[in-house]
Each structure stands twice: as structure tokens, then as C-alpha cells.
């Protein structure tokens, strides 16, 4: 499950930010996880819960996950569909099955709240 290593990377980032800002408790963390990032949000959340239980800085912090939209362009008619839901099965205009996704591939630390 590579989400665990992503959470570990996130924790390193949080620890560094807390040091730089003299924070000693993370209250909430807002992440943006693109629908095309390949990251399973439930696994990420699970990894966060498990690892934060052992981490004084992050224990009890709220994890907020935002899913930004991705755009799917139909190669047949050029119609663009923007959604943060899962990939559309086909073009809603012409029914073609070949859609090219853009955006929505990132894992971004958006905001943290600490005290």
C-alpha cells in the first residue's frame, strides 16, 4: 500500500513546518488528492489514522481531503467534461469511449492548522 509511504512523507513535511513555526500540535490538515493521482483516499485516511496515533505532533488531527476536478476531453468531438467524480464511461455528447484526462493528478498539502 503506497499510501502509507505518502503519509510518512506528509508527516515529515508537517514536522518540518511545525518546527519552523514553533507549533507543537497539528489541529487539522487539508489535502488535495486528484482523482487521477492513483491514490486510494480510504487507504490514505487509514494510513493517516494509524501513523498519527504514534505521533505526538499529529495525534488527533483532523484530516480533510478535497478532491479537485479533472477534465476529460473527447477525441472524437472535442467535448470537455469536468468532474471530480470518477472517470466518465463515455462522452455524453457523442458516446465515444476514448477520453483524454487532464489535471487531477496531484497530491497537494493545501492548509494546515496548528497551535
Q: Which residues of the shown chain bind Zn ion in the complex (CB under 5 A)?
A: 74, 76-77, 79, 91, 93-94, 96
Cβ 102 to Zn ion, closest distance in Å? 15
Give 43 or 76: the residue with its C-beta nearer to Zn ion: 76
Give 23 or 88: the residue with its C-beta nearer to Zn ion: 88
Cβ(31)–Cβ(107) below 8 Å:
yes
Q: Quick count: other Cβ atoms within 10 Å of Cβ 107?
A: 16
Q: Dihedral of CA 51/12/18/114: which sign? A: negative
Cβ 73 to Zn ion, closest distance in Å? 9
Give 91 or 112: the residue with its C-beta nearer to Zn ion: 91
Residue at grid coordinates 493528478: 105
Backbone φ and ψ for 59, nearest 5 degrees, come out as -50, 130
Amino acid at each position: 500500500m503506497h499510501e502509507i509511504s505518502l503519509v510518512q512523507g506528509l508527516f515529515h513535511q508537517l514536522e518540518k513546518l511545525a518546527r519552523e513555526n514553533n507549533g507543537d500540535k497539528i489541529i487539522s490538515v487539508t489535502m488535495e488528492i486528484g482523482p487521477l493521482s492513483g491514490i486510494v483516499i480510504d487507504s490514505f485516511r487509514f494510513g493517516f489514522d494509524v501513523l498519527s496515533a504514534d505521533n505526538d505532533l499529529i495525534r488527533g488531527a483532523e484530516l480533510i481531503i478535497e478532491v479537485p476536478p479533472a477534465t476529460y476531453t473527447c477525441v472524437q468531438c472535442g467535448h470537455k467534461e469536468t468532474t471530480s467524480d470518477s472517470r466518465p464511461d463515455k462522452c455524453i455528447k457523442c458516446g465515444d469511449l476514448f477520453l483524454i484526462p487532464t489535471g487531477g493528478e496531484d497530491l497537494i498539502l493545501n492548509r494546515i492548522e496548528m497551535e
